[in-house]
């Protein structure tokens, strides 16, 4: 099985789907001839033609709106928003239209669109190249939100998202594009080479939406994470010495509540880790769900480790980014109580 980084795995997913389904088409800013600013669509136009993979005007609202119209026609468009920070001009189309089309038309029309967008920090991206907007989408009924953390899942989840008939916001942690990142920014960059999660089959396969993965089994605490934070969590758990179970949620909506509840009922402790700022973040929903369903099993208060409630700063990257040390401290607090 070939080893792929996340960019290659995503590119492969798109290539597989373009070849497999004549109704799949890809467009976004710089996605055509140039192959995307992160190379995710590299070579696809040359291989599949101008009509299957093309460039779009710099208009996020227009990109999502035309994708919805294409979906209503019967195509299965995959639209790219260059950075998740720039998805907001398309917010009305995503919330008022894509998410509600099936509901408001009682199933006459629907929007089988996939919106791919690089997200997350840890790259000195400053305020508008680092944000994690998943909580905003999680609040929108009718949207699915999916976040992979490794090349194997990236390909399988992206294919599943494209094949899904509901609109899917597919957030790609750009910090993980070229290699895993555990938050230890002072250490040498890693690549995906040699990582078993980078062994990606060439053929079509899916990773189901709504199904979490247990990344590490443990007995004393449960850590809920997704995207880059899965790797940060693994490092933080190692640093803490706590035998924590690490769950990679993979899908924010639909959420794999069964896996989460089974784990917390077993461990009795829960720490939630995300890059997005804390107040109103998705961690709040996770904490509420765990509290409702695991109340009599909890041995300590649920902890949330998250970005601070500030815009994402440039110079203070590593003071903002919730690294492994902050998780280790939270785990230690849980164990002391």
Partner 1 sequence: MSDPHGSAGGEGQAGRNLPPLRLHVPEPPARPGEAADFTHFDIPAAGAQPRPDETAQPGEMRDMAYGLVRVLDEEGRAAGPWDPRLPAETLLRMLRYMALTRAFDARMFRAQRQGKTSFYMKSTGEEAVSIGAALALSRDDMCFPSYRQQGILITRDWSIVDMMNQIYSNKGDRMKGRQLPIMYSAREAGFFSISGNLTTQYPQAVGWAMASAAKGDTRIAATWCGEGSTAEGDFHSACTFASVYRAPVIMNVVNNQWAISSFSGFAGAEATTFAARAVGYGIAGLRVDGNDVLAVYAATRWAADRARANAGPTLIEHFTYRVEGHSTSDDPSAYRSAEESSQWPLGDPIARLKQHCIAIGIWDEERHAAMDKELAEMVRDAAREAEKNGILGHGLHHPMESMFEDVFEEMPWHLKEQQQQMLDEWKAAGL
By CB under 8 A, name the binding residues for partner 1: 25, 51, 56-57, 59, 61-62, 65-75, 77, 89, 92-93, 96-97, 100-110, 141-142, 144, 164-166, 210, 253-255, 257
129 included as an active-site residue: yes
For residue 171, what are its two tokens?
Answer: 């957030």
Write the CB contacts of 237 (distance below 8 Å, at least 6 apart in sequence): 216, 218, 223, 244, 246, 327, 328, 331
Nearer Cβ to partner 1, position 25 or 232?
A: 25
Nearer Cβ to partner 1, position 93 or 117?
A: 93
> Which one of 129, 139, 185, 297 is the catalytic residue?
129
The least CB distance from residue 18 to partner 1, in Å, is 13
Backbone dihedral region for residue 142 (phi beyond 0: left; psi -120 to 50: alpha; all else: beta): left
The whole-angstrom separation of Cα 134 and Cα 155 is 20
3-state helix, strand, coil in the chain (%, to 5): 40, 20, 40
The least CB distance from residue 218 to partner 1, in Å, is 25
The least CB distance from residue 59 to partner 1, in Å, is 5
The whole-angstrom separation of Cα 241 and Cα 214 is 18
Nearer Cβ to partner 1, position 123 or 253?
A: 253
The least CB distance from residue 52 to partner 1, in Å, is 8
Write the CB contacts of 100 (distance below 8 Å, at least 6 apart in sequence): 141, 142
Cα 12 to chain center, whole Å?
A: 18
For residue 64, what are its two tokens?
Answer: 């999502």
Nearer Cβ to partner 1, position 113 or 328?
A: 113
Which residues belong to the active site?
129
């Amino acid at each position: 099985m070939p080893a792929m980084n996340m960019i290659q795995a995503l590119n492969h997913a798109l290539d597989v789907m373009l070849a497999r389904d004549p109704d799949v088409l890809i467009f976004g800013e710089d996605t055509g001839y140039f192959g995307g600013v992160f190379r995710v669509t590299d070579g696809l136009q040359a291989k599949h033609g101008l009509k299957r993979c093309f460039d779009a005007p710099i208009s996020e609202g227009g990109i999502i709106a035309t994708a919805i119209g294409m979906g209503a026609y019967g195509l299965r468009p995959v639209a790219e928003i260059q950075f998740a920070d720039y998805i907001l001009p398309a917010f009305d189309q995503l919330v008022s239209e894509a998410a509600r089309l099936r509901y408001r038309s009682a199933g006459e029309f629907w929007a089988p669109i996939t919106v791919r967008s690089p997200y997350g920090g840890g790259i000195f991206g400053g305020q508008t190249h680092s944000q994690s907007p998943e909580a905003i989408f999680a609040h929108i009924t009718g949207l699915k939100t999916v976040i992979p953390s490794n090349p194997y899942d990236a390909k399988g989840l992206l294919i599943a998202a494209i094949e899904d008939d509901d609109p899917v916001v597919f957030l790609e942690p750009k910090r993980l594009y070229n290699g895993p990142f555990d938050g230890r920014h002072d250490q040498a960059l890693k690549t995906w080479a040699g990582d078993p999660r980078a062994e990606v089959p060439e053929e079509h396969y899916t990773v189901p939406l709504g199904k979490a993965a247990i990344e590490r089994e443990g007995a004393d605490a449960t850590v809920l994470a997704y995207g880059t934070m899965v790797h940060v969590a693994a490092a933080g758990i190692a640093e803490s010495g706590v035998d924590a179970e690490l769950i990679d949620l993979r899908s924010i909506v639909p959420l794999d509540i069964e896996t989460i509840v089974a784990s917390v009922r077993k461990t009795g402790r829960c720490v939630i880790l995300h890059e997005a700022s804390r107040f109103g973040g998705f961690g709040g929903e996770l904490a509420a769900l765990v509290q409702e369903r695991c109340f009599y099993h909890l041995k300590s208060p649920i902890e949330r480790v998250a970005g601070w409630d500030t815009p994402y700063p440039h110079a203070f990257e590593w003071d903002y980014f919730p690294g492994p040390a902050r998780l280790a401290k939270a785990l230690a607090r849980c164990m002391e109580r």
